[in-house]
Amino acid sequence: MSQPKPLNLPFDPIDRAAESWRAHFGPSAAMAAVTSIMRAHQILLSQLDSLLKPYDLTFARYEALVLLTFSRTGALPLSKIGERLMVHPTSVTNTVDRLEKSGFVCRLPNPRDGRGVLAEITPAGREVVRRATSDLMAAEFGLGMYAENELHQMFDQLRTLRVAAGDFAGPSIRQDEEHGGLL
């Protein structure tokens, strides 16, 4: 799996920045955490986009295709895609344009709304989701260095941030995949 260019530094630059931050401004835990999250985002997005490139996909386009795959009919209004993927309408339009050019979705008039448009996944789109998902799963979405329980903890920690930002009302109950119990 391709990664962003390694920094190959003899020290942790975020830890070094945290030391300087403490000396100049005070407590640095929040700054170090957010900087680490932003760097992790860069690394993961680069890895995932690299894995998806042979399929003419980016992670954003892959997410849209998966969302359509999960929908009951394989089609959703563009506004619903934006809402579910938490992206701006312009980004949805661009994503659907690219997917349409690749033959992975087609646009249809929304029968419930004369002005609206649906994006519908094509058989080629379903096939590319199947193959790309297999590659992403094999690569453990770039997080293979973590144990399953650590991934659950990471999800829970970041969910707190998403709740505080108003993404949704509060923690949802989810099934523990290995144990079949509620977490």
CA distance 43 to 144: 13
Task: Report pLDDT digits (tens) over 60-91.
Answer: 999 999 999 999 999 999 999 999 999 999 99
Place of tokens 């619903």: 80
In this predicted structure, what is the pLDDT of residue 115? 79
Residue range 132-150: average pLDDT?
A: 97
Domain extents for the chain?
13-164
Assign 176 a pLDDT band (cuts: 50, 70, 90).
very low
Computed on alpha carbons and rounded to an integer, the radius of gyration of the chain in Å comes to: 20
pLDDT band per the 50, 70, 90 thresholds, residue 175: very low
Residue 62's CB is within 10 A of a number of other CB atoms, namely: 23
Residue 128, pLDDT > 70, answer: yes
Q: What is the pLDDT of residue 62?
A: 97
pLDDT-based confidence at residue 182 (cuts at 50, 70, 90)? very low
Looking at the DSSP bridge assignments, the partners of residue 90 are none
pLDDT at 169: 86
Confidence class for position 177, pLDDT limits 50, 70, 90: very low
With 60 as the cut, is the pLDDT of residue 15 above it? yes
Strand partners, 118: 77, 108
Give me the chain's average pLDDT, please.
Answer: 90
> What are the residues facing 44 on neighbouring strands?
none
CATH top-level class of 13-164: mainly alpha
Q: If DSSP states are collapsed to H, E and C, what string results for the chain?
A: CCCCCCCCCCCCHHHHHHHHHHHHCCCCHHHHHHHHHHHHHHHHHHHHHHHHHHHCCCHHHHHHHHHHHHCCCCEEEHHHHHHHHCCCHHHHHHHHHHHHHCCCEEEEECCCCCCCEEEEECHHHHHHHHHHHHHHHHCHHHCCCCCHHHHHHHHHHHHHHHHHCCCCCCCCCCECCCCCCEC
pTM: 0.83
1-15, 23-37, 52-66, range with the lowest pLDDT: 1-15
Angle between helices 13-24 and 29-52 (to 10 degrees): 150
Residue 165, pLDDT > 60, answer yes
